[in-house]
Structure 1
Amino acid sequence: MNTSERPPAAPEAATGRHFEPDLRRMTRINLRPIASPMPLGFYTVAIASTIVGCLQLGWLGDDAHRAVGLTIAPAFVLQLLVSFFAFGARDVLAATLMACFSGTWLASALVLVTDAPDGARVLGVLNLLFTLFALLMASVARPKRALWLVLCVAVPRFAAAAAYNLTDAEALGQVSGALGLLLAAVAMYAAFALMLEDMRGEEVLPIGRSGPAHRAVEGDLSVQLRNLERQAGVRRTL
């Protein structure tokens, strides 16, 4: 008996599953360049750290707490804005650090303005947790040398602030204030160096990038787009 040959069944019909065609040629990823928000973030750290440091060193008087709180409160808004744009630039390290700085300034401002009972001890716990967080971030931020240097000074500064808040030892307050001024100086340098680099399109003041951070600035467009399909916002899930 002769039977007519039939073409082999398609895989979709055999399995009941539908396979999409290869969409890579049809896929387009649009990127919106933005100016670097990091100079603003570092300047904000410098200004807030200077004001708090002057308070801890006793240069502003004993009744300046509320004025200091009101003065550093805008740092919350500015660094939250920096964090928002840093997330948009796919820099999770900088965005997370700026957001945590933002929350720390807000908590400090509220405690100083309201003079909340046991506020100093609560700030001590907050500063201790921020110290641990900054230490963890510093362990992975070395290629981003400007950010790493700020973290290296922020760790002892917030550790001293935590100890001062928890013990009320005047000497620790002096140490915290001095480290706060040092943190302000390092952050100011980083902000100025990054701003000059952004304006002139090349490194003017040494920052010391290495590894991926160096290639991100010095590499060509192909380096910038490498593994882009795995970036948050492009891949299907975080």
Structure 2
Amino acid sequence: MSPEPTPPGASADVLPGRRFEPDLRSMTRINLRPIASPMPLGFFSLGIASVLTACLQLGVLAEEARTAVALCVLPAFLLQFLVGMLAFGARDVIAATLMSVFAGSWLAFALVTAGGVPQGARVLGVLNLAFLCFGILMAAVTPPKRALWLVIVVSLPRWAATGLAGLTGAQWLTHAAGGLGLLVALVAGYAAFALMLEDMRGEQVLPIGRSGPAHTAVEGDLAVQLRNLERQAGVRRTL
């Protein structure tokens, strides 16, 4: 009985009776579709929505304007959800997770505030404290992306103040949350503007503070970008 021929791509010294798979690496192609950065849209949406809610908390807008503010904030959910989905497609799990969670927070605020449901303020207070825990975890893994990290860091005290204000009803906490909301809007607006300038001119114009892998991703060549590509989500077999 003659031995079976060795299939192409397989080693010739495979033991008889052993199953093997051919080496398909040379025939594998990974296609990536470049997209424009969605982050300026996400940061601008965050900033505008933060200004509206901050004005409500500071008393610039009367209580009768709560429903109107909720309806104006609702589009921020759609925009940031879109940014999150595009960021997932761009294989940026940190930006995608952050923007998607921000989208969920605006949707919850808009629905509860516009609906005028009983105990809505207390429920939103608990929700904001839950976002505070989420933000602490996100801040721990985001330092190489300083723009994202700074937005998260300034959002932490706002989530804390808003959450405690909803649970206690303390007016000074509500005002503090409003002031922190304006700070979030300022930081988010700067990050959005800096990223837009960078994308339009093809180089960093305003400092964003990237470091580590985030800096390499922008400054490195194509060979660096393709390193370990087969191990990234969407390419490997399971997540």
TMscore range, shorter length? over 0.9
Q: CA shift at 1:14, angstroms? A: 1.4
Cα distance in 2 between the residues matched to 1:121 and 1:213: 38
Task: Please state whether the residue corresponding to 1:87 is helix, strand or coil.
Answer: helix
Q: CA shift at 1:13, angstroms? A: 5.0
Measured at CA, do residues 41 and 9 of structure 1 come closer, stay the same or move farther in structure 2, by a change above 3 Å? closer
Name the counterpart of 2:106.
Answer: 105
Name the counterpart of 2:55.
Answer: 54
Q: CA shift at 1:188, angstroms? A: 0.1
Write the letter of the residue equivalent to 1:202.
E
Counterpart check, 1:227 vs 2:228 = yes
Name the counterpart of 1:212.
Answer: 213
Cα distance in 2 between the residues matched to 1:61 and 1:117: 20
Q: TM-score, normalised by structure 2?
A: 0.94
Measured at CA, do residues 9 and 26 of structure 1 come closer, stay the same or move farther in structure 2, by a change above 3 Å? closer
Name the counterpart of 1:162.
Answer: 163
Cα distance in 2 between the residues matched to 1:168 and 1:112: 15
Name the counterpart of 1:32.
Answer: 33
Name the counterpart of 1:171.
Answer: 172
Larger radius of gyration: 1
Task: Please state whether the residue corresponding to 1:21 is helix, strand or coil.
Answer: coil
Name the counterpart of 1:71.
Answer: 72
Identity between Structure 1 and Structure 2 (%): 66
1:143-199 Cα distance to aligned partner (Å, 9 max, x none): 000000000100001110001111110000000000000000000000000000000
Task: Please state whether the residue corresponding to 1:63 is helix, strand or coil.
Answer: helix
Q: CA shift at 1:84, angstroms? A: 0.4
Q: CA shift at 1:20, angstroms? A: 2.0
Segments ≥4 residues shifted beyond 3 Å: 5-13
Could you list the runs of 5+ residues in structure 2 that have no partner in the other structure?
7-13
Name the counterpart of 1:185.
Answer: 186
Cα distance in 2 between the residues matched to 1:20 and 1:137: 41
Write the letter of the residue equivalent to 1:153.
V
CA RMSD across the alignment: 1.5
Counterpart check, 1:22 vs 2:40 = no
Counterpart check, 1:121 vs 2:122 = yes
Measured at CA, do residues 73 and 7 of structure 1 come closer, stay the same or move farther in structure 2, by a change above 3 Å? closer
Cα distance in 2 between the residues matched to 1:121 and 1:209: 38
